[in-house]
Amino acid sequence: MTKVIFVACLFFPVLLFAQAKKPQPKARAKTGSLTTVSIDRGKTVYSQFCLSCHQADGSGVPNMNPPLIKTKWVLGPKTVLIQQVLKGSQGKVEIDGDTFHNTMPAQAQLTDQQIADVLSFVRNSFGNKASMVTPAEVKVVRAKTK
Amino acid sequence: MKKVLFLMVAFALAAAGSAQKPTTDVSISLPAGFSSTVMAKSLGRARHLAVNSNGDIYVRLERLKNGNGILRLRDKNGDGKIDDTTGFGNYVGTGIALKGGYLYASSNTGVFRYKMNGTEPDVAHPETIVKDLVDRGQHNSKSITLDNAGNLYVNIGAPSNACQGQDRVTGAPGQDPCPLLEIAGGIWQFKADKQNQSYAEGVRYATGIRNVVGLDWNTATNTLFAMQHGRDGLQDYKIFPDSIAVELPAEEMLEVSKAGDNFGWPYCFYNQFEAKKVLNPEYGGDGKKVGRCADVKPPVIGFPGHMAPNGLLFYTGSQFPDRYKNGAFVAFHGSWNRTPLNQKGFFVVFVPFKDGKPSGDWEVFANGFAGKENITSPGQAVYRPCGLAQGPDGSLYVSDDVKGTIWKISYKK
């Protein structure tokens, strides 16, 4: 409710002083769209490389493929998450007392941008809310991982 | 006409102080004349189960519950509900069986047994029958069955999808020969009464089997039957259109007629539409080439792909109508590897048998466990059938490993 009032207050002057206020909403929209575009691209990467194991809703497969919903891996340090994508895993991933056994193939063939996009998508989907991952962050981890 | 029975099932309550979650009705449908009751619920990760001659139910858990990996459920006052539950065995696992006055239970590396003193297992003195079997996580559950000649059969699943040098990397070549077949990817035979056996004492009874969870000794044919979980990711090779690819390879019902039978994993997969084994793409296959697969044993039945058959039981009771006698019940856990199509399975099927061979198509026997149609991810399924057992009165028991539910299915004319 507070948010609605805030938005209303923000746009009311915009309507009154349309000419003068134009640049500000534009700038906001641009920032928002960059984030959205990255997440949208990430969804495409996810569908192609991740979805069949981690599932369309990120719930994974019991005992086999880990879920991506509010887990310590997904919401935790970005470095660990980026490494996971670059190196894959040999199974035995533990989350809250459950163990997930299937191998995850390394996805190092993805570009820094693709990894940033897909991780930003995952960190902001399935009920997750966490900061974006940038290509620069992936680049740093990739250099150290090699 | 199918008679639908509605089972009222309450979800576990939320933690103390928070609101109660909504109650969900899940209906299990059965053929006319059959009915089901929920014997127990909220047991945890209930895998296979066995029912003793006095009606006690032994349930094997994949995750410890109050420190126990085996539960004994008893209906003391005979009202059809469990009113006495105890637990023992501080190790997780899948397999459980009663035979010759002993209760056998598998861990993910071996098999233990407990002497039955009357109706009570001697839980303080487990004997280690089999030990040191491979457990690398993937496909590590060890399912068991026993024959009538003093032998124990243990599935050792391959810790791999298709024995590639890099597991589950599309296009990575398969190892040839596959070294895993020496220690896994088959069913091993051990003596049921000899302690501390491992690979050296056992016999590789059947090979070329990726992973099995459901297996049973068929007393009518006096042979071992097993349900293979077929390989994943075949659709990633884009050999077949999606609608066909998601059904491949078949989930196979295998009959081991003699020691040493080879069913072809990882080199071959079974295409049920063409009723033949063909080469896997990791071994040069293109969906058509047969090559060395001409020499491997085909399945008795090929079910649609990825449905995950976790329980197998040949029905020997007299309670059900005659057509069920010596036929096979198969509990399908339900798929996860069928995208972009919906998932499939989450039911118990029946296959009629005559003279030791299927005498008709498989049919869905018990359905509705998932709680809804159009499941896109296995996490959406309310229940997933896993184990099957036959009671002393010929009733059929089904376990679920999502919430730990046990159904008893009975027939009345």
Contact B138 A56 (CB under 8 A): no
The pLDDT of residue B116 is above 90: yes
* Cα dihedral B106, B301, B399, B13 in deg (nearest 10): 120
**CA distance, residue A54 to nearest chain B CA (Å):** 9
DSSP H helical segments within A17-111, as ranges?
18-21, 23-49, 51-54, 72-75, 78-87
A 10 A CB-CB count for A40 gives 13
> Alpha-carbon torsion B139, B142, B145, B151, what sign?
positive
Please check whether residue A4 lies inside any domain of the structure.
Answer: no
Using 50, 70 and 90 to split pLDDT, how confident is the model at B25?
low
Find the domain containing A44 and state its range: 30-145
User: Quick check: is A112 in a domain?
Assistant: yes
For residue B18, pLDDT over 80 is answered with: no
Q: Which CATH number is associated with domain B39-411?
A: 2.120.10.30
Residue A9 included in any domain: no
User: Does residue B398 contact residue B406 with C-beta atoms inside 8 Å?
Assistant: yes
On whether residue A106 sits in a domain, the answer given is yes
Q: What gap in Å lies between CA B104 and CA B377, rounded to an integer?
A: 34
The pLDDT assigned to B115 comes to 98
pLDDT band at B16 (very low <50, low <70, confident <90, very high): very low
Residue among A55, A64, A97 minimizing CB distance to B377: A55
Residue A13 lies inside a defined structural domain of this protein:
no
**Residue A90 sits in a domain of what CATH number?**
1.10.760.10
Minimal CA separation from B139 to chain A, in Å: 8
Give which of B221, B217, B195 is closest to B205, Cα–Cα: B217
CB proximity B342 to A under 8 Å: no
pLDDT, position B15: 34
Whole-number pLDDT of residue B113 = 98
B167: chain A residues, CB-CB within 8 Å: 103, 105
pLDDT of B22: 37
Residue window 30-89, chain A: list those with CB within 8 Å of chain B.
51-53, 55-57, 59-65, 67
For the segment B2-23, the average pLDDT, to the nearest whole number, is 36
CB-CB contact of B198 with B133 (8 Å): yes
pLDDT at A5 over 50: no
Which pLDDT belongs to residue B289? 97
User: Residues B373-397: pLDDT tens digits?
Assistant: 999 999 999 999 999 999 999 999 9
Residues A57, B161: C-beta atoms closer than 8 Å: no
Buried b (16+ CB within 10 A) or exposed e, A115-125: bbbbbbbbbbb
A12 pLDDT tier (thresholds 50, 70, 90): very low
Residue A63 dihedral angles phi and psi, to the nearest 5°: 70, -15
Tell me, yes or no, if A101 comes closer than 8 A to chain B by beta carbon.
yes
Question: Is the Cβ of A94 closer than 8 Å to some Cβ of chain B?
Answer: no
Mean pLDDT of chain B: 93
Minimal-distance CA residue of chain B relative to A60: B379
pLDDT at B78 (0 to 100): 86
Quick one: pLDDT at residue B162? 98
User: Does the beta-carbon distance from B168 to A55 stay under 8 Å?
Assistant: no
For residue B180, give the DSSP letter.
G
Query: Which B residues, 110 through 139, put their C-beta within 8 Å of a C-beta on chain A?
Result: 136-139
Boundaries of every domain in chain B: 39-411
B262-290 pLDDT, tens digit per residue, is 999 999 999 999 999 999 999 999 999 99
Instruction: Give the rounded percent of residues in chain B with a pLDDT score beyond 70.
Output: 94
Model confidence at B13, pLDDT cuts 50, 70, 90, reads very low
List C-alpha distances in Å: B160 to A122, B128, B262, B403.
27, 27, 18, 28
Kindly state the helix (H) or strand (E) to which residue B228 belongs, with its residue range: strand B223-228
Please indicate whether, in this complex, the C-beta atoms of B378 and A55 are within 8 angstroms of each other: yes
- pLDDT for res A32: 61
Q: Do B62 and A102 touch (CB under 8 A)?
A: no
Residue B325 has pLDDT above 90, yes or no: yes
Would you say residue A20 lies in a domain? no
